[in-house]
């Protein structure tokens, strides 16, 4: 919401905003189990990144 209201979506003549909207459009079409698994994998990647950065 902050990016939307700060008009950052218009960076690069609106191309950045277009990429974000296309990504959001793609994400709403996942099946429930697919979204659940993607969420788990995303959390695993965050945990790995934090572990690597904190070493």
Residue span of the structural domain in which 39 resides: 2-53
CA end-to-end span of the chain, whole Å?
33
What does each of the 55 residues of the chain score in pLDDT, given as a tens digit?
Answer: 777 677 777 777 778 778 888 888 988 898 999 999 999 999 999 999 999 999 8
Q: How many C-beta atoms lie closer than 10 Å to residue 53's C-beta?
A: 7
Q: How far is CA 2 from CA 22, 23, 42, in A?
A: 18, 18, 23
Per-residue pLDDT of 1-13, as tens digits, reads 777 677 777 777 7
Q: Comparing C-alpha atoms, which of 4, 36, 5, 6 is closest to residue 17?
A: 4
Half-sphere exposure of 37 (CA within 13 A, CB side): 5
Quick one: tokens of 15?
């191309």
Stated pTM of the model: 0.58
Provide the number of structural domains found in the chain.
Answer: 1
């Amino acid at each position: 919401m902050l990016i939307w209201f700060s008009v950052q979506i218009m960076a690069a003549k609106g191309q950045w905003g277009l990429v974000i909207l296309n990504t959001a459009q793609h994400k709403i079409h996942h099946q429930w189990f697919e979204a659940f698994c993607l969420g788990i994998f995303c959390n695993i990647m965050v945990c790995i990144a934090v572990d690597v950065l904190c070493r």
